[in-house]
Amino acid sequence: MRLHCPLLLGAFVATAYGHGNLEARREFLASHTNNLNHCGSINKDSGLYQRAIERREALIDHLLAERRLQRRQVSSVNTPHKSDKPYTASTAPSVVFAGNKSCVLSPETTEGPFYVTGESIRTNLVDGQLGVPLHLDIQVIDVNTCLPLNGTFLEMWSANTTGVYSGALAIPNGSGMGDKANLNKQFLRGIQKTDDDGVVQFQTIFPGHYTGRATHIHVITHLNAKAEANNTVFNTKVTHNGQAFFDQDLIDKVEKTAPYNTNKQTGTKNAKDDILLQEAATADPFFEYVLLGSDLKDGIFAWFSFGVNPKLYRGIMAVAENLKGGGKMKTDNPKLQGFDGLFPGGFPTSWQPGFGPSPTMNAVTPTKS
């Protein structure tokens, strides 16, 4: 069986494994997903929301000054830009914040077959990749206390402009992931520890698409992770495992520019992406954003806040490890019939939407003080 999609998700999963398991996943999401509606007044009174406004405004001003650009938009940085919500520039910030359904808490989404453990702690993830500059501000809130979740490692990764993930290999199929040199690359991957406001900021590029999936970024938070001496993190216990998306009109504009317009892989619209549709049933997994200049090449500033329950976690699997001597593919992942040619080391994910068991949520054992 020859597949044209390195991630084997979306329509293929729904067709090959039926809709029964997808329904089971929806039920799991419904019972394990919360948002931060109950935290609106608390975060406003504590000053957390105001600090977020000031932090994002300050970063935008810095980026504009650095590029000698004028503001393209006169609206507040916290004016939402979501395709599925009727917010306008006149919507009260308290309404926007309290109704932010992007705040999902459970590890509800597949980690995908190209999660790599052992990534570097860093802010700039570009590594020479060309594309539209993307500056991210991501905030994590404890859904139990409504307080910022500080000191937690947050990891993100995405595909480049032509749909290639770094750090891993896949069967040569036009995706660019058959090149062995790709195993030792780390572009568009990184991890950081959240600050006192539960925030990390990354400099990356707007991701490209690959066959079978809408444009997205992977985001996970780790449980009790520690930095290694070489400034990397090896940890496969997560308290959140999700994917964040962008408005379709923004994606369409970006993909008309170079080098995105050289991508030969088949694109998938948001409305056709099964993982996005399942997330959107219980959450609002879209980045809010503003454009930094008069042209997309000037860059995008995007932000995303979400809730995490640090009392629950589950394990995930990696397809590869980023080791001191270079990247290494894992060989001990579970076998999945029909996928040996693509993943000879085993199918590298403990749970995919549409097949396999739902993820087992484990409770964190309290520690004595």
* Residue 366 Cα to chain centre, angstroms: 29
Q: What is the mean pLDDT of residues 306-325?
A: 86
Give 1's pLDDT tier (boundaries 50, 70, 90): very low
Give 288's pLDDT tier (boundaries 50, 70, 90): confident
Give 356's pLDDT tier (boundaries 50, 70, 90): very low
pLDDT at 344: 66
Work out whether strand 133-142 and strand 300-308 pair parallel, antiparallel, or are unpaired. Answer: parallel
Give 147's pLDDT tier (boundaries 50, 70, 90): confident
| DSSP structural state of residue 181 | G
CA distance to 33, 146, 301, per residue, from 106 (Å): 6, 15, 26
Q: How far apart (Å, rounded) are the C-alpha atoms in residues 48 and 148?
A: 8
What's the pLDDT tens digit per position in 16-44? 222 334 444 444 444 444 456 666 656 66
pLDDT at 3: 24
pLDDT cut 90: percent of the chain above it: 28
Tokens coding 184: 């030792």
* Residue 145 Cα to chain centre, angstroms: 24
Would you say 73 and 290 are in contact if contact means Cβ atoms under 8 Å apart? yes
What is the residue-averaged pLDDT of the chain? 74
Considering the domain delimited by 68-352, tell me its CATH architecture: Sandwich (2.60)
Per-residue pLDDT at 137 exceeds 50: yes
Work out whether strand 237-245 and strand 199-205 pair parallel, antiparallel, or are unpaired. Answer: unpaired
What's the pLDDT tens digit per position in 241-272? 888 899 888 999 999 999 999 999 999 998 88
Q: Which of 8-17, 24-33, 92-101, 293-302 has the highest mean pLDDT?
A: 293-302
What DSSP assignment string belongs to 236-287? -EEEEEEEEE--HHHHHHHTTSTTGGG--SPP--GGG-HHHHHHHTT---B-
pLDDT at 34: 46
